[in-house]
A and B are shown apart, each in its own frame.
Chain A
């Protein structure tokens, strides 16, 4: 489950860049923190 969330972070970053609004990525990361999901920059990539 952790990995699934990490893969998703990348999408929310791009969504925030597209909207020029950080809300979506902020909410996503907060959601991960709340559920103790590990965020790791390396998983911005998806193999």
Chain B
């Protein structure tokens, strides 16, 4: 998610139908100056998602759950914003925000000598959003991305296994199952800000072992085909037949990412 992310420095939506384009522009680039070349949005993901941490966490989880290699634009891992005062696509090419020191830790030179100024005062500027602060915060976006990287590295099912998109209700939920070496990895993402319940008819007589989620309180019963999802919630499971459930520990992920 190039930038779910946006194709590096622009979310190009050229090939969508006109009414769909309109919807994307209205949602993610509603103001003058946010759209570039009449085809794309020149904003970073964090600002397109209005800085809503639930929405961002779910979106990145979705990115890591999809098949293939994941690429992130620098700074998106901490939710850096953009600078719309800069022309065209340069708006997203702002200096990395390392800490709260001069120039956001990007450079120690006199700020007047910088080719491009870091963003300081905005909600997304380096005084609010930086690597140093997020390293210390277990609930930060950076820690979430770190957990997702570990999760994907430990479970090669993603991208290597045969994948199936499950037809589930409501339509806001994207359910994807990977099969790999006899295991099934199931991921659920609720694209809506409204909570919901998902019924998994496909997995009767199975045991679902939760390995990662949005971190809110969920009832972790051993057998559950009715799954509650928070608004912008996400849940990752291993699925095994009930008789093999005892062996599930073999596949358990490291405790530091649960």
Q: Does B221 contact A (CB under 8 A)?
A: no
Residues B62 and A11 in contact, CB atoms below 8 Å apart: no
Within the assembled complex, what's the spacing in Å between the Cα atoms of A30 and B174?
12
Residues A41 and B193 in contact, CB atoms below 8 Å apart: no
Measured as residues with beta carbon below 8 angstroms from the partner, the interface class of chain B is 35 or more
Within the assembled complex, what's the spacing in Å between the Cα atoms of A31 and B174?
15
Within the assembled complex, what's the spacing in Å between the Cα atoms of A11 and B59?
14
Interface of A is mostly: helix
Report how many A-B pairs have Cβ atoms within 8 Å: 105
Interface of B is mostly: loop
Interface size on A, residues (CB 8 A): 31
Within the assembled complex, what's the spacing in Å between the Cα atoms of A24 and B73?
25
Residues B174 and A44 in contact, CB atoms below 8 Å apart: no
Q: Which of B4, B8, B194 contacts A13 (CB 8 A)?
A: B4
Which chain A positions have C-beta within 8 A of B6?
10, 14
Which chain A positions have C-beta within 8 A of B14?
11
Q: Does B28 contact A (CB under 8 A)?
A: yes
Which chain A positions have C-beta within 8 A of B165?
26, 29-30, 33
Q: Which of B28, B66, B174 contacts A16 (CB 8 A)?
A: B174
